[in-house]
């Protein structure tokens, strides 16, 4: 076999790796990200944890989009195994749990902000709460600080 020639440059070292339970289809960063986040239910769970006060299984189950219990269970487990969310004991109910974004999950904020703005600009009939839209457009750093502090930006009646 002939030796492979390389340019002598190495890709930057990865500081963190995601836990893997199955083989990756491709080393492409987009493909790898889509293996974790590439369906609408997963991103909607992340959206709710990032922008609203939804944090319990029942909150996600009764959201407007209508996810089924088996899909919700699988997506929460996938997000947990990928280090994007963590499952914590509920502070008021011994048999319940709450979910929250980890630092890895919070790092998705810039992508979700851009996806929101793209949808708002290019998909008729979409909505972003006005206060959040204003922050997205005029004070991105304040918005990112609120997300990092895990402050709900929209308080829903649950």
| Number of compact structural domains in the chain | 2
Residue 158 has pLDDT above 50, yes or no: yes
CB atoms < 10 A from the CB of 45, how many? 26
Tokens of 10: 């190495």
How would residue 116 be classed by pLDDT, with cut points 50, 70 and 90? very high
Q: What percent of the chain has pLDDT over 70?
A: 85
Identify the residue whose tokens are 């030796």: 3
| Nearest-10 Cα torsion for 135, 138, 142, 146 | 10
What are the tens digits of pLDDT across the range 92-115?
A: 888 899 999 999 999 999 999 999
Q: Which two tokens stand for residue 71?
A: 């899909």
In sign, the C-alpha dihedral spanning 133, 139, 140, 146 is: negative
Q: Are residues 119 and 146 in the same domain?
A: yes
Q: Which residue has the higher pLDDT, 141 or 38?
A: 141
Same domain, 40 and 94: yes
Tell me the pLDDT band of 83, cut-offs 50, 70 and 90: very high
> Is the pLDDT score of 3 beyond 80?
no
- Inside any domain, residue 20: no
Of 86, 102, 118, the residue that ends a domain is 102
Task: Answer whether residue 35 is part of any domain.
Answer: yes
With respect to residue 11, please indicate whether it lies within any of the assigned structural domains: no
pTM: 0.79
One domain, residues 71 and 95: yes
Say whether both 71 and 126 belong to one domain.
no
113 lies in the same domain as 51: no
For position 50, which CATH number holds?
1.10.10.10
**Cβ 106 vs Cβ 145: under 8 Å:** no
Q: How distant is the alpha carbon of residue 96 from its chain centre? A: 22
Comparing 2-6, 45-49, 52-56, 59-63, the range with the smallest average pLDDT is 2-6
In terms of residue numbers, what domain contains 80? Answer: 29-102
């Amino acid at each position: 076999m002939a030796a492979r020639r390389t340019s002598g440059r190495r890709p930057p070292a990865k500081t963190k790796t995601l836990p893997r339970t199955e083989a990756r289809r491709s080393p492409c960063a987009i493909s790898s990200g889509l293996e974790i986040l590439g369906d609408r239910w997963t991103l909607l769970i992340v959206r709710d944890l990032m922008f609203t006060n939804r944090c319990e299984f029942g909150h996600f189950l009764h959201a407007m989009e209508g996810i089924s219990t088996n899909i919700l269970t699988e997506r929460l487990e996938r997000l947990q195994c990928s280090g994007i969310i963590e499952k914590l004991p509920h502070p008021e109910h011994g048999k319940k749990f709450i979910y929250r974004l980890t630092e890895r999950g919070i790092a998705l904020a810039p992508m979700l902000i851009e996806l929101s703005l793209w949808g708002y600009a290019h998909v008729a009939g979409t909505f972003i709460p006005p206060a959040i839209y204003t922050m997205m457009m005029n004070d991105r750093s304040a918005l990112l600080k609120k997300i990092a502090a895990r402050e709900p930006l929209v308080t829903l009646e649950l």
